[in-house]
Amino acid sequence: MQTKSEKIMNVLVNAIIIIFCIICIVPFVMLVSISLSDESSIQTGYSILIRNFSLDAYKFVFQNPTQILNAYKITAIITFLGTVLGVVFMAMAAYCLSMKDCRFRNPFSFYLFFTMLFSGGMVPSYILITRTLGLGNTIWALILPSLISPWYIFLLRTFFAGIPYSLYEATRIDGAGQLTIFFRVYIPLSKPALATVALMVMLTKWNEWYSVLLYITDEKLMTLQYLLQRIMKNLELVETYAKQGGSSVSLDNVKIPSETVRMAMAVVVAGPMLLVFPFFQKYFTRGMTIGAVKG
Amino acid sequence: MCRTLPRRRKSIWMDGTMEFALLALPAFILVFIFCYIPMGGAIIAFKDYKYDTGILGSAWVGFKNFEFFFQSNDAWRITRNTLGMNALFIVVGTIFDVGFALMLYEIKQKWRIKTYQTIMLFPHFISWVIVGYMVYAFLNPSIGFVNVTLQKLGIEPISWYSEPKYWPAILTFAYIWKHVGMNLIIYYAALMGIDQQQFEAARIDGASRIKQIWYISIPSIRSTIIILTILAIGKIFRADFGMFYQLTRDVGQLYPTTDVIDTYIYRSLLSLGDIGMSSAVGLFQSFVGFILIITTNTIVKKIEEESALF
């Protein structure tokens, strides 16, 4: 039986969380509403609800989608390569760390762990990547430097360590080599952990703009998020992008719906992932709770 | 006479060391190139870097780059902002994370918990770039939602992007908004581990729910709170570049409260091209950060051995 004070508390707790949930959602609703509103009615102020429904902004974005499509392509490539290569390499390293038979296990662990404590900083990395390696303005600058994250390696190691050692011994006695054991036993057994890491890597890759800011000036190599932040900084770019290609001649004399177009672009960029990721919520939750991460 | 044969040493192929090495190789090389070489390159902070001679060929200048930085007014400002804002995030963030974890724990209907958690995780999936757009939609000086509302209420609108004093609050709000859903998970998981019998016993003794929270729930996650806070303090010298750069739109007028070490390094490197100064600041940050992590880890180790990072 609930007492009266418990009932009050129940209502109160739910109310507070619901209010916070609304605060979480309102900005998303606002982006969508602005993008679906008529430009002229926005001039008096943004609102949470749609004002004079209009698809002009989206028409505008998709009328000349070369820039956006190209950014989609680049983002897809770095997300795919970054996730696949990253997860495979990190799982391989994590396997070595979790095996007692691996002779260099401890020094290797320290080797990886030390990078979490100390870094050379942004300037030496910048000079290395742009000058020494000449990776500036190549897609590799967006993939290679961030491919290995010691944090995920330790997370995977914790998971591998949970796989019964007797299984390893049994396969070993049967004459299997380490590569076979890794690919045929450990990988199939750790799909959930691999999925968790893959999703977390995917999310950061999809949201990548920082390395573009540092290493890329070529418009053909810009990611979605970077394109977006560029437009935010420089309103006129909306018009430049729109006018490229010349197919929008008819629009040249019309006032460009820049405010709504900006928000429409934000929706186009953020939308797909927002629809996909919540379905994988449990993997993110698991990633946070997979256990102590130790060096 | 019989000569004993020299015992054959197990070859490194036989015991799998070569295979392990093969597996570890890609990670080893990548970490070496992109982490260890830059660590060596950090000596650039003690040099007068010239593009044509490279890091090794440039002349040593001792601590000149550091002197230059510490004598400027910027040193105090960016250090204060970095420490201050991060401290604010740690304190307010922890209160919200723990608060929401406790509240979620009080809810018994599964579908509610799931719905709330899903919604609160939403902001985690977008980049600071998009959050920047959202902040702009609210704070745009002429047509932003906040100013329009203020005007309707007859209050003088505020030009948000030129008033540094409001930004510590705005950024803290954004931080909470984006991270609470993810950060509360650890506390919630810790709460899930509490033995239900404790609550039953308390209920039989007539303890109210508030009392149960105060005497059972909070004490059982106390060590988690302490450990996570200490670990966060270890990282207090690093600011989230994306947040400070995107939400403020890098507006110069806001620097008094929003310019942090990370944004400062970026600006002196790419906008001003001042390699000496930016590398000195970077090394200063790495060095202090290193000491902080070592110190905080030692403290954690004393409190709870198994929660220490190393």
This prediction's pTM: 0.87
**CB pairs below 8 Å between A and B: how many?**
279
Residue of A nearest to B297 (CA): A117
The complex's ipTM works out to: 0.86
Copy the structure tokens of residue B239: 């600011």
> What confidence score (pLDDT) does residue A244 get?
54
Measured between alpha carbons, how far apart are the two ends of chain A, in Å? 49
Q: How far is CA B147 from CA A29, A262, B74, B138, in A?
A: 18, 20, 32, 8
Whether chain B has a CB inside 8 Å of the CB on A23: the answer is: yes
Question: Over the stretch B184-206, which tens digit does the pLDDT of each residue have?
Answer: 988 998 898 888 998 899 989 98
**Nearest-angstrom CA–CA distance, A202 and A82:** 8
Q: Do B107 and A17 touch (CB under 8 A)?
A: yes
Residue of A nearest to B25 (CA): A93
Question: Over the stretch B210-258, which tens digit does the pLDDT of each residue have?
Answer: 888 999 999 988 888 888 888 888 889 899 999 999 998 888 888 899 9
Å from B8 to nearest chain A CA? 19
**Nearest-angstrom CA–CA distance, A293 and A284:** 16
Q: Do A30 and B121 touch (CB under 8 A)?
A: no
> What confidence score (pLDDT) does residue A252 get?
46
> What confidence score (pLDDT) does residue A2 get?
66
Å from A28 to nearest chain B CA? 8
> What confidence score (pLDDT) does residue A246 get?
45
> What confidence score (pLDDT) does residue A1 get?
54
Q: Do B279 and A123 touch (CB under 8 A)?
A: yes
3-state secondary structure A60-86: HHHHCCHHHHHHHHHHHHHHHHHHHHH
Q: Residue B22: CB partners within 8 Å, gap ≥ 6?
A: A179
A116 vs B contacts (CB less than 8 Å): 309
Closest CA relative to residue A75, chosen from A225, A214, A217, A184: A225
Residue of B nearest to A215 (CA): B270
Per-residue pLDDT tens, chain A, 295 aa: give them: 567 878 888 899 999 999 999 999 999 998 898 888 887 777 777 878 787 788 888 888 787 788 888 999 999 999 999 999 999 999 999 999 998 888 888 999 999 989 988 888 899 999 999 988 999 899 999 999 999 999 899 989 988 888 888 888 888 888 888 888 899 889 998 888 899 899 999 999 999 999 999 999 988 899 999 988 888 777 666 656 655 544 444 444 455 667 788 888 889 888 888 888 888 888 887 777 765 443 3
B182 vs A contacts (CB less than 8 Å): 284, 288
A99 vs B contacts (CB less than 8 Å): 20
Q: Which amino acid is at B292?
A: L
Closest CA relative to residue B64, chosen from B275, B288, B269: B275
> What confidence score (pLDDT) does residue A102 get?
84
Closest CA relative to residue A211, chosen from B195, B241, B275: B241
**Nearest-angstrom CA–CA distance, A114 and A86:** 19
Q: How far is CA B146 from CA A270, B139, B296, in A?
A: 23, 6, 41
Cα torsion for B250, B252, B257, B261, to the nearest 10°? 60
Segment (H or E) for A205: helix A191-206
Q: Do A16 and B103 touch (CB under 8 A)?
A: yes
Q: Are B265 and A121 in contact (CB under 8 A)?
A: yes
Beta carbons within 10 angstroms of residue B151's beta carbon? 12
Helix (H, G, I), strand (E, B) or coil at B164: helix
Among the partner-chain residues B41, B100, B185, the one whose CB lies closest to the CB of A288 is: B185
**Nearest-angstrom CA–CA distance, A189 and A192:** 8
